[in-house]
Structure 1
Amino acid sequence: MPEDPMAKFSPTAQMPRYLQAFQCVGPACPETCCSGWRVTIDKATFKKMKAIGDEPLRRRIAIHLVKDDDSNPAAWGHLQMEDNGDCGFLDADRLCSIQKQLGANALSDTCNHYPRQFQQVDGEHRVQATLSCPEAARLALTDAEAMAPVAVTLEQFANASELPPGMRWNDGAGTPKVSHLGGRVLHDLLVSLFDAPGLGAFDALALGLMLVRRVNGYVQELAARPEGSTPREQRLQDLSELFSRFMDAAHNTQLLEVVRGLEAGTRFAPDMLRTVTRMIWQRRLTASARTMLGDVVAGLRLDEADEQVARERWAEARRLHWDDWARGHGHMLRNYLVNSLQSSLIGRHFGTPQALEDAYLDLVIRAALVRYWLIGQMALHGDAFTPEMAVRTVYALSRSIEHDRRFMAGVLQTMDEQGIRSLATGVVLIQ
């Protein structure tokens, strides 16, 4: 049963095991969370900060705390960053002067809870972390068992009403659209497949692609029936049957043979990923992202006009290094994808087949980009490529893309303009 939000006890939440061990490393962090992006301030914190009389904090607040026009209590204002992107409250030790002098309770929800993300799934509390935090990324990626779920009492909250609102996923008692339910099935299926023995992350993504196609086919089938003729229970049963088929090893083996037999196009995928990488390279990047992408650009010669050079260097590095690395460190990509599913995909609204397809393409593009960037660095570093470089790749991608929803929307729009926004594109990227 869901907890009573006003009950006088700390709520219990499910979280991945790595998050239990998370502690901010402060100035030792290679990429501080106090620089490089917009920090929103909730209404309660905004008022508390305005009431601070301590100097020099009061002078800093007058300069850096800005009221927004929006009346949203969760985003009442924001912090005006320094010209170099740093928060104006960072002190000489690269620590937050507000937290140091007044404690964590004086921080905004954004600062106090980062990198944690809070969810409610059918009334149950879940906590995840964004891997834009280098320490969270290190913990999540380097341990093969990091994503194992654990139940934890959130002792910092007196009751469930104190939890940040976060994302909520509730089917409700009505008859939701089947693609909304299909999104939940897709999430549960992929989490199971990523843990299946002998099944690689991209094989799991390929099976997920097949499920999206089946769900969309079922949506079209329902549309041809009289409205209201298929009750909620029947829809859930039909989707459960779809799910169960994908838990059959023989069925999955047959599907993967079909996917591998498709003409993937050896030029399209690296050319598309090269284009997206060059788009990101032109953006304002953090130091770690700039270093990582600099290695990719150098390794694949992306600064040269000849696309064939980049294609050949990518293919050679993939042949020489990728398979061996994936056998020894495949859990890093798997953990990244599972964390992505838990922290973002489940909270997306799957109200239409297009929304379900777009959410899945988003996931596939990010997975393909991670692999492309890893291979690009292998082209430069060869056998000297390290797990630490893979961790840096993930938190750089997270900061560059996952915290800017407009970027992936722009990528999908570009795919629209080129007529390549489809699940077939997903097949090519997976291949």
Structure 2
Amino acid sequence: MTTAKERATIQQQFQTRMNEDELMNCMRCGFCLPTCPTYIESGFQESHSPRGRIALMKAVVDGLIEPDEDVERSLNMCLGCRACEPVCPSGVRYGHLLEEARDIIAQNKKYSLFVRIIRKIVFSGLFPHQNRMRLLTALVGFYQRSGLQSLARRFGLLNLLPRHLTTMEKVLPTVPTWKEMNDRPKQLTPQGIKKRRVAFFTGCLMDTMFMKTNDATMELLQRAGCEVVIPPAQACCGALHGHGGEKHQAKELAKRNIEAFEQLNVDYIVTNAGGCGAFLVEYDHLLKDDADWAERAKAFTRKIKDISEVLVELNFHETKLKVKPQVVTYQDSCHLRNVMKVANAPRQLLQAIEGAEFREMKDADRCCGSAGIYNIVEPEMSMQILDYKMQMAKQTKATTIVTANPGCLLQMKLGIEREGLSSHMRAVHIVDFLLEASGE
């Protein structure tokens, strides 16, 4: 609970830092309402809609209300999926407003000791340090391989956790070994004629927990004719920090990444995670007020490109792609679609695969409820959203759900497990599916 002094400071910061022109751009037309999962799943509560949250922010700026727990709760309930932005006739950059508001609150509120410790560990102690991410993943690998996982399941120890976390443990991928995570390439040559020179943004979770997907990405780029450079100095993209009220740390990570990539002389900086790509492509906004970095950030963001766009540009979908007969549907990564504006390329690739009968899922562009760590901190709403998504997936009768973001992938695996469909339905990252289709 915030004190009166904290609320006064937060209100002053809202008045100083919030973009009032952006707040005023919202016409309250309601076009955003049908696109907002939390508005729909909350029973159409206005405070859980984009225009409702903007109205709350504006009221705080104008001094009409205090930034109390109800305001904070409304902002925290937002998935940050940004589905409201493409449909907004005024072009309101809602995501930027949300990040700024969350940062103001987080930096001027005194959390409990437990929460402060957790935030310090996650934001400062873990994600900015890839060696620590590898160590944590190696510990997960030890748990999986040593027999501890079997014992925990046999004796029901996991039942002490909330149900959604117990199910999530079941769908975690088999993680790589410590040696595999520390033996990563720095440069790869193209197969055949060189068509592009690209850099690969490996990410933190993607190059540890989902390392096999990163390997598949680099393999596909090579097969498509790309020389691939993987700078070892790159860092976490900073998305978790930016969305979680730690913008200062997000800016520091952005600067580390810009420095790591800017001298490589590449055509593109390729990503394979929608959430990472969307944050990387907005480094120019993140650093717009920093005179020393603004132009460098713009140059960096101009080169960001999703793997699916690169593959389509290089006509990879015209090569021989084939899988065993199966029905395939696609779940959009919110940030890939709504921020990076990539929706057609993944579908074009999937529709080119022989044996894959593509069926469009209703509301494929609606958030699955993962949203970074949202499914951990807001499990009830997340599971409501996931239940709806699984209803739509089942209607397609798909045996394979393809997505393009690690969080979405785990969430869809979680949905499949919750529905008892794991015997005849799977979820897979698009690059893993494409590598399967191209012949490993």
**TM score, norm. by length of structure 1:** 0.32
Q: Tell me which structure has the larger Cα radius of gyration.
A: 1
More helix per residue: 1 or 2? 1
Q: If the length of structure 2 is used for normalisation, what is the TM-score?
A: 0.31
